[in-house]
């Protein structure tokens, strides 16, 4: 495919003026072959395998940044769900020790984050899974680079309420032990978690993956916002076509970098995740795209339609550009990481109920939102269960990253700094559903589980 001079200038403009970048290059690494009965040898094996391959990733990514002039913002590692490799070493102390080993490997390799410190518990909990969840406050308080996840539901298994009911108290303890509750920002709970997600905090190297694979996350909210603003008078069909063509170009950048980087590393190329992932940088907001559609503030009536249109166009444009689209691939609507979302909460246009409704048509879910620190653990569990039920019933990935901030009340804010941004503390429904959640057990799978 030939590239015209106009296309070169257009891509350069996207990078210089509209925040186009490769948001992450995430190297998935299988750690099952590191297992040893001697725990010290086990941790040494893990450290050596991660450091060796992480350093190669960083060096190769930096070469491609220089070659193409496309910023590669994050270099990350995802690993086999840690609960699976700790079955014979499942004590709280050893989980913390393994976390510190992973954290040290990341620091020594200039890796931003390591994902995969989590478990697949959608149908039940092993002893190793339970100990992992119990250890998370220690882990997230003692490390800088570790991200954790739980997958507690799928279309074919339903939802494990016994696992959900462990999360609220764990998050409150984590919040109390980390500055401004920031440890909670490194934990996410999923339904239908994909095995090849390159984005944190939910990245992990799935059990169906090869020994190693490279997954790319591209992002260009500023690029999409720019073309929407230039086409204020077109109808929705025309607007969808414009967004599709734009996302096609964004995804081709990711495809180019992914394929060349995988060849340099001599590992399989996994997927390109085409999610629009915002930051707090000026002009890099998904909420601003929605406002450019003609909606005064995110949360106003019509927001769900706008997000649905955006999601559909993003997926169609990305699918045209690459045969390896995967991961989450859609539109993130985090609160603290998007300046427009922050503004919408502060002005009263957006509340938790509307945020939950919006997630029925977007990916991935209720992300990076803060609630009062005195919110009962049972209420946190219910917020999580409601959101994940949307994913299970609607055959999609949904997730929750909720931050109960000690000492903060609704209407106040907490500033995490950097990419994590600022989170206005949102009001929580005061009525309890604890008797319902405390029934425990498993929400049965919907009828789609019998489609085979």
Give tens-digit pLDDT for 113-155: 999 999 999 999 999 999 999 999 999 999 999 999 999 999 9
Domain count, the chain: 2
Range of the domain at 68: 24-191
Residue 238 in any domain: the answer is yes
Angle (nearest 5°) at CA 223 between 222 and 226: 85
Q: Is the same domain home to 187 and 227?
A: no
Q: Which of 133, 157, 191 is the last residue of a domain?
A: 191
Burial 130-164, CB ≥16 within 10 A → b, else e? bbbbebbbbbbebbebbbbbbbbbbbbbbbbbebb
Pairing state of beta strands 72-79 and 114-115?
parallel
HSE, CB side, 13 Å, CA atoms: give it for residue 199: 27
Tell me, what's the pLDDT at 130?
97
d(CA 91, CA 99): 12
Q: Is the same domain home to 237 and 374?
A: yes
Residue 203 in any domain: the answer is no
Residue 29 in any domain: the answer is yes
Q: Is the same domain home to 261 and 319?
A: yes
Q: Which of 158, 191, 224 is the last residue of a domain?
A: 191
Tell me, what's the pLDDT at 2?
47
Q: Which of 53, 143, 147, 64 is nearest to 107 (CA)?
A: 143
Tell me, what's the pLDDT at 9?
46
Beta-bridged to residue 403, according to DSSP, are 370
Tell me, what's the pLDDT at 173?
97
Q: Is the same domain home to 224 and 179?
A: no
Q: Is the same domain home to 273 and 319?
A: yes
Q: Which of 305, 269, 304 is nearest to 196 (CA)?
A: 269
The DSSP secondary-structure symbol of 157 reads T
Q: Is the same domain home to 167 and 225?
A: no
Q: Is the same domain home to 186 and 244?
A: no
Beta-bridged to residue 75, according to DSSP, are 25
Q: Is the same domain home to 225 and 135?
A: no
Q: Is the same domain home to 184 and 306?
A: no
CB atoms inside a 10 Å sphere around CB 350 = 27
**Residue pair 50/79 in contact by the 8 Å Cβ criterion:** yes
Residue 223 in any domain: the answer is yes
Tell me, what's the pLDDT at 104?
97
Tell me, what's the pLDDT at 450?
62
Residues 6+ positions from 204 with CB-CB distance below 8 Å? 28, 78, 79, 80, 81, 115, 116, 118, 149, 193, 195, 197
Q: Is the same domain home to 129 and 259?
A: no
Stretches in the chain below the pLDDT threshold 50: 1-5, 8-9
Residue 446 in any domain: the answer is no
Q: Is the same domain home to 132 and 174?
A: yes
Tell me, what's the pLDDT at 5?
42
Q: Which of 160, 191, 222 is the last residue of a domain?
A: 191
Angle (nearest 5°) at CA 306 between 303 and 307: 90
Q: Is the same domain home to 227 and 335?
A: yes
Residue 5 in any domain: the answer is no
- Is 331 in a helix, a strand, or coil? strand
CB atoms inside a 10 Å sphere around CB 298 = 28
CATH (domain of 386): 3.20.70.20
d(CA 47, CA 29): 12
Residue 449 in any domain: the answer is no
The DSSP secondary-structure symbol of 54 reads H
Residue 4 in any domain: the answer is no
């Amino acid at each position: 495919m030939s590239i015209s001079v106009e296309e070169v200038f257009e891509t350069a403009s996207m990078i210089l003026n509209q925040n186009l970048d490769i948001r992450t290059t995430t190297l998935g690494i299988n750690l099952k072959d590191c297992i040893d009965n001697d725990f010290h040898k086990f941790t040494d094996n893990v450290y050596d395998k991660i450091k060796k391959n992480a350093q190669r990733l960083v060096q190769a990514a930096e070469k491609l940044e220089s070659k193409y002039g496309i910023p590669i913002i994050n270099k990350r590692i995802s690993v086999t769900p840690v609960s699976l490799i700790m079955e014979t070493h499942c004590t709280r102390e050893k989980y913390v020790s393994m976390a510190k080993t992973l954290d040290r490997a990341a620091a020594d390799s200039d890796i931003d984050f390591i994902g995969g410190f989590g478990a697949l518990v959608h149908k039940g909990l092993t002893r190793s899974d339970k100990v992992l969840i119990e250890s998370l406050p220690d882990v997230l308080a003692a490390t800088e680079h570790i991200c954790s996840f739980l997958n507690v539901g799928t279309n074919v298994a339903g939802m494990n309420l016994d696992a959900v009911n462990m999360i609220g108290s764990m998050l409150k303890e984590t919040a109390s032990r980390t500055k401004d509750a920031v440890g909670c920002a490194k934990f996410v709970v999923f339904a239908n978690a994909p095995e090849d997600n390159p984005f944190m905090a939910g990245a992990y190297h799935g059990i169906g993956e090869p020994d190693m694979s490279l997954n790319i996350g591209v992002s260009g909210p500023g690029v999409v916002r720019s073309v929407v603003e230039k086409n204020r008078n077109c109808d929705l069909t025309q607007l969808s076509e414009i967004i599709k063509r734009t996302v096609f170009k964004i995804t081709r950048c990711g495809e180019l970098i992914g394929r060349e980087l995988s060849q340099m590393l001599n590992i399989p190329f996994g997927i390109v995740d085409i999610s629009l992932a915002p930051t707090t940088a000026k002009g890099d907001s998904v909420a601003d795209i929605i406002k450019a559609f003609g909606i005064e503030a995110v949360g106003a009536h019509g927001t769900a339609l706008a997000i649905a249109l955006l999601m559909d166009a993003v997926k169609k444009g990305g699918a045209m550009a690459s045969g390896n689209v995967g991961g989450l691939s859609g539109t993130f609507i985090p609160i603290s990481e998007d300046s427009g979302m922050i503004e919408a909460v502060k002005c009263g246009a957006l509340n938790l109920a509307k945020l939950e409704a919006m997630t029925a048509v977007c990916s991935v879910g209720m992300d990076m939102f803060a609630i009062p620190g005195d919110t009962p653990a049972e209420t946190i569990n219910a917020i999580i269960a409601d959101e994940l039920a949307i994913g299970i019933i609607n055959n999609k990935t949904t997730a929750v990253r909720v931050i109960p901030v000690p000492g903060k009340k609704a209407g106040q804010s907490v500033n995490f700094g950097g990419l994590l941004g600022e989170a206005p503390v949102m009001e929580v429904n005061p009525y309890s559903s604890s008797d319902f959640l405390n029934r425990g057990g498993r929400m049965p799978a919907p009828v789609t589980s019998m489609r085979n």
